[in-house]
C-alpha cells in the first residue's frame, strides 16, 4: 500500500481567552491506518487568533475503505472538536514482467504438471 500526501487541518482559537488543548487523537475502526503530527504539541495553550496545525497521513495496511475521527479535546464549548477522516487503500498494480505459474492436474494416482509463462504488460 502507498502512503497518501499529508493533509493539514488547523484548530484555531476564535475566542478572547486562552484555548487549552489537552489532547488530539485519532479514534474509530480505521485508526491504525491514519497517522497524525501535531504542530503545537500536546497540552497546548493557544492565544486568541492562534492556530494549531495537525497533519494527517493515510497509510493503509490493506485494500479497502477506512474511516476514523480526529478529535481535539479543549476548554472551548462543544469540545471535543472533530474532523472525519476517510481513505481508500488500493493495492499497487503487478509490475510488468513474465511470471511463471506451475499447474498440477491429478486424477487417481496419475498427475501431470506444466509450467505456464504468464506475461504481464503495463498499459
Strand partners, 21: 44, 74
Q: Say what the pLDDT of residue 118 is.
A: 82
Number of domains in the chain: 1
Range of the structural domain that residue 37 is part of: 7-89
The answer as to whether 41 is a domain residue is yes
> For residues 91 and 1, what is the distance between their CA atoms, to the nearest angstrom?
6
Q: Say what the pLDDT of residue 84 is.
A: 95
Q: Say what the pLDDT of residue 123 is.
A: 67
Q: Say what the pLDDT of residue 114 is.
A: 85
Cis peptide before 10 (omega within 30 of 0): no
Per-residue burial over 68-97, b if 16 or more Cβ lie within 10 Å, else e, is: bbbbbebebeeebbeeebebebeeeeeeee
The answer as to whether 51 is a domain residue is yes
Closest CA to 55 of 7, 11, 4, 5: 7
Q: Say what the pLDDT of residue 95 is.
A: 86
Other C-beta atoms closer than 10 Å to the C-beta of 120 total 11
> Which parts of the chain have pLDDT scores under 50?
none
Q: Say what the pLDDT of residue 28 is.
A: 94
Domain CATH for 64: 2.60.40
Amino acid at each position: 500500500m502507498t502512503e497518501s500526501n499529508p493533509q493539514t487541518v488547523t484548530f484555531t482559537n476564535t475566542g478572547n481567552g486562552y484555548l487549552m488543548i489537552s489532547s488530539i487523537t485519532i479514534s474509530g475502526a480505521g485508526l491504525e491506518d491514519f497517522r497524525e503530527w501535531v504542530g503545537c504539541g500536546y497540552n497546548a495553550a493557544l492565544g486568541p487568533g492562534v492556530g494549531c496545525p495537525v497533519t494527517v497521513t493515510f497509510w493503509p495496511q490493506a485494500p479497502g475503505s477506512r474511516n476514523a475521527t480526529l478529535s481535539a479535546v479543549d476548554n472551548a464549548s462543544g469540545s471535543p472538536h472533530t474532523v472525519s477522516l476517510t481513505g481508500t487503500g488500493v493495492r499497487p498494480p503487478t509490475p510488468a514482467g513474465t511470471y511463471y505459474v506451475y499447474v498440477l492436474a491429478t486424477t487417481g494416482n496419475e498427475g501431470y504438471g506444466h509450467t505456464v509463462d504468464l506475461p504481464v504488460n503495463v498499459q
